[in-house]
Structure 1
Amino acid sequence: MKLALYSGTFDPITKGHIEIIKKASKMCDKLVVAVLNNSSKKTLFSLEERKEMVQNTLKDIKNIEVIEHTGLLVDYMKEIGCNYIIRGLRAVVDYEYELSLAYGNYDISEGNIETVFIPSSKEYLYVSSSIVRELALYNGKLDKYLDNYVIEKIRKKIKEC
């Protein structure tokens, strides 16, 4: 693959996300990481804050570009000539949800976009941004799930709220 895209809300970016991004970056010449503004989700961090955390966390991976995106991802992918979406899979519940997205994106793109699934390692099977936000709220231990830079950001944000 020459060009692929990995998208998410990243509120915040977890070690599980980072693992999938590192694996995906080895599969393509360039990986676009799209930080999404999902109107159906209430986020802790602003779009700009999430993008900055993603950029900082991934700064050592040379073949990625981090962008902000609002709107239909398929339209953006067509604009940049990208035909592959990378999606991480954790548990069986993810598979059903991700498969429906994959078929939807395939249909919307008239068969031009394929989804590549990358399974998560066992240690990240149940890691999610919502779980780490909850842990942070109750001052739980976060180093197993988040990069140190992100831990600082989430601790500061929780104090502000």
Structure 2
Amino acid sequence: MKPQARRAVCPGSFDPVTYGHLDIVGRSAELYDEVWIAVFHNASKSGLFSVEERLELLEATTADMPNVKVASFSGLVVDFCQQHDIGVIVKGVRAVSDFDYELQMAQMNYGLGGIETMFMPTNPLYSFLSSSLVKDAAKWGGKISSHVPELVARRLEERFSDS
């Protein structure tokens, strides 16, 4: 009998994707047969980029990772996992404050669907990095090229030059 493929998911808003996100996805792709990036769609919130734009940016920036797939979802991440036969949620943690929140989510996800969560410490290069900080810096013309892929930096520049 062929062993079941080991699948993991990296869920988030990715508005926009940063090198911190890509580091966690890339390291996960080395550990699992298949890694899904699940872009959360929250109809009550409007992001800087639409879900479709975020999917496009993620597909472009992970094109060199053949075992990474990109999709969107709304609702519970455990439902996404069950629909795609995924047994593990991978979450990057930058600090203790991230861990406090993510531990509660992990326990809830396990209780709701028996889905395990693996916590991956963020590479120290990205320990301060967040999409919110990148958007703030880009809005005010800050140099963000060391924090996001070139395509994302261009899209942020375009987005803020339009406003």
TM category (shorter chain) comes to: over 0.9
Query: CA separation in 2, counterparts of 1:69 and 1:92?
Result: 27
TM-score after normalising by structure 2: 0.94
Which residue of structure 2 lines up, in the alignment, with residue 140 of structure 1?
142
Which residue of structure 1 lines up, in the alignment, with residue 6 of structure 2?
2
5+ long unaligned stretches in structure 2: none
Query: CA separation in 2, counterparts of 1:38 and 1:27?
Result: 29
Q: Does 1:73 align with 2:77?
A: yes
Matches within 5 A, 1:16-55: 16-39=20-43, 41-55=45-59
CA drift of 1:40 comes to 5.6
| Larger mean Cα displacement after TM superposition, 93-102 or 68-77 | 68-77
Deviation track 1:54-96 (CA, whole Å, cap 9, x = no partner) reads: 1111110010110011121111211221110000010111010
5+ long unaligned stretches in structure 1: none
44, 56, 61: which one pairs with 1:57? 61
Read off the aligned partner of 1:151 and give its amino acid letter. A
Runs of 4+ with deviation above 4 angstroms: none
Deviation track 1:105-161 (CA, whole Å, cap 9, x = no partner) reads: 01111xx20000111111101100000000000000101111101000111111222
Structure 1 residues 41 and 92: CA distance shift in structure 2, 3 A: farther
Which residue of structure 2 lines up, in the alignment, with residue 108 of structure 1?
112
Read off the aligned partner of 1:126 and give its amino acid letter. F
Query: CA separation in 1, counterparts of 2:110 and 2:43?
Result: 22
Query: CA separation in 2, counterparts of 1:79 and 1:26?
Result: 23
Query: CA separation in 1, counterparts of 2:52 and 2:103?
Result: 29
TM-score after normalising by structure 1: 0.95
RMSD: 1.2
Read off the aligned partner of 1:159 and give its amino acid letter. S
**Matched-pair identity in %:** 35
SS of match in other structure, 2:35: strand
Query: CA separation in 1, counterparts of 2:115 and 2:72?
Result: 20
Read off the aligned partner of 2:125 and give its amino acid letter. E
